Every structure is written in structure tokens, then in C-alpha cells.
Amino acid sequence: MWQGLAGIALFLALWQIGTWLRLPMLRHVPSPLDVLLQFATVVQSRQYWLSWYVSGQRVFLGYAIGVLLGVPLGLAMGMSRIFHGVSFPLVEVLRPIPPLAWVPLSILFWPTMEQTIVSIIFLGAFFTVVLNVLGGVEAIDVSYQRAALSMGARPWHLFWRIVLPATAPSIFTGMAVGMGLTWEIVVAAEMIASIQAGLGFMMWQAYVGGNIALIIVSMASIGLAGLLSSTLIWALGRRLTPWLRRT
């Protein structure tokens, strides 16, 4: 923790020195002190915390749907060769398409802009989770499954006693990576859709108004939101995989 704080402090110090020296790349960028003053002003407004709430609600709804569908699909693809052969090519065709490229079609599919944003966030988490879970299942040493089968294990025994515990680290890795992507996507989606709330909309308003300090505050808020969300997921993963702490 202290090393991380030292790294952040060093970054801010170099940033402050760069603004004092008027380096070309920082000519139009406010200093950390100016950003801190802007942040102290913004946090006192109700609109700032409403933006956190609105963006967070969108993120966690789309993310939850992506995880609830992505984890079972990844497990099924890893455990069944037939299902893998049928579904994997489709996943690989759709996966490289950027979530924001789905905006035009999503607007046609869904009756409200709110549902459109949630569906785009869902896509950002879904494919990341699927591929991480699939990779976790495929990485399991087949000798464990053969040993269990030789001792009379049934398919559900293999799943609950071998596949799921062995894949758990990959599941939480995919969830953490997917969470980071969803915060990136929600900001871009809010800016494109011009919805009148959210951290992305606040950033866009700051850009239109020429308030660079507020833009940086919005960016830092998004980064903090992603950090807190991923930290919760990692903490949950450590809690639910106690056998990893003993190794």
C-alpha cells in the first residue's frame, strides 16, 4: 500500500513540477493543486454524487447480466466438446467487435437509451468473462478428471469437486477485467448518447464548457470507481477460494 501511495505521490509531484516549468505537453493542463481545488468544489454538489450513482447503476446492471450469462457459457464450452464446437466460432466472430460499434443496432433493438447503454456494458463484460472461464476449464490437468472417474465419480462430482474449484481463479480474473472494461464503456456510451446524467456526461459537459480541471476530476472519479469495484471483486475471490490461501 505504501509503495502504491509513493508512486501516486511521485506522479503528482512530477506533474506539478511540469506545470511550473511550463513544459509544452502540459501547457494547457491545470496543475494538481488546481484539480484538487476543483475536486473540493465538485464533491460538495449533489449532481456529482448523482453522477456516481447513475453510472454505477448502469455498470453493475450490465455487468451482472454479463457475468450471470458468461460464467455458465464458459463452463459449458469448456466441459462439452460438442457445445464448444458449435458456440466457440460464433463467440470468436462477435468478440472482436468493439462494444461501442453496437450502439446503432442497440438503439434499434431497445426502446430506451438507458437499456441501450446497459446492453453495451453487458457486451463489454460478457465476452471477457466467457474467454477467461473457458481458459480456466481448458487449463485443468486431465489427470485429475481421469483419477476421479476411475474412482467412480459422476459428472456432477467432476463439476463441483474439480472443474469449479480449479476454474474459480479464472472466473474472478475475468470478472475483475470485465469490471474495468465496463467503466470504460459506460463513460463512452454516456458521451455518445448524451444522457443527462452520469460521470461520462459530466465529463462531456466539462469539455463543452472548457473546464479542463473538471475533465480531470471526472477521469479520476472513473478510475477510482474502477479501482474500488475491482478491489471488491478480488476480495470476494479470496474469500470464496480459501484453498488458494493455503498453497
Domains in the chain, number: 1
**Model confidence pLDDT, tens digit, residues 10-27:** 988 888 888 888 777 777
Tell me whether residue 132 is in a domain.
yes
Question: Is the CB of residue 105 less than 8 Å from the CB of residue 99?
Answer: no
Tell me whether residue 1 is in a domain.
no
Average pLDDT, integer, range 126-155 = 87
Annotate 210-227 with b (16+ C-beta within 10 A) or e (fewer): ebbbbbbbbeebbeebbe
Tell me whether residue 223 is in a domain.
yes
Tell me whether residue 144 is in a domain.
yes
Structural domain including 170 reads 50-241
Tell me whether residue 73 is in a domain.
yes
> Which of 195, 173, 203, 228 minimizes the C-alpha distance to 118?
195
CA distance 105 to 99: 11
Tell me whether residue 87 is in a domain.
yes
Tell me the pTM: 0.85
Computed over its alpha carbons, how large is the radius of gyration of the chain?
Answer: 22
**Model confidence pLDDT, tens digit, residues 52-91:** 998 999 999 999 999 999 999 999 999 889 999 999 999 9
CA distance 32 to 34: 5
**Model confidence pLDDT, tens digit, residues 152-211:** 878 788 888 888 888 999 999 999 999 988 988 888 888 776 666 788 888 888 888 888
Tell me whether residue 39 is in a domain.
no
Q: How long is the chain?
A: 247
| Average pLDDT of the chain to the nearest whole number | 87
Tell me whether residue 34 is in a domain.
no
What CATH number should be reported for the domain holding residue 69?
Answer: 1.10.3720.10
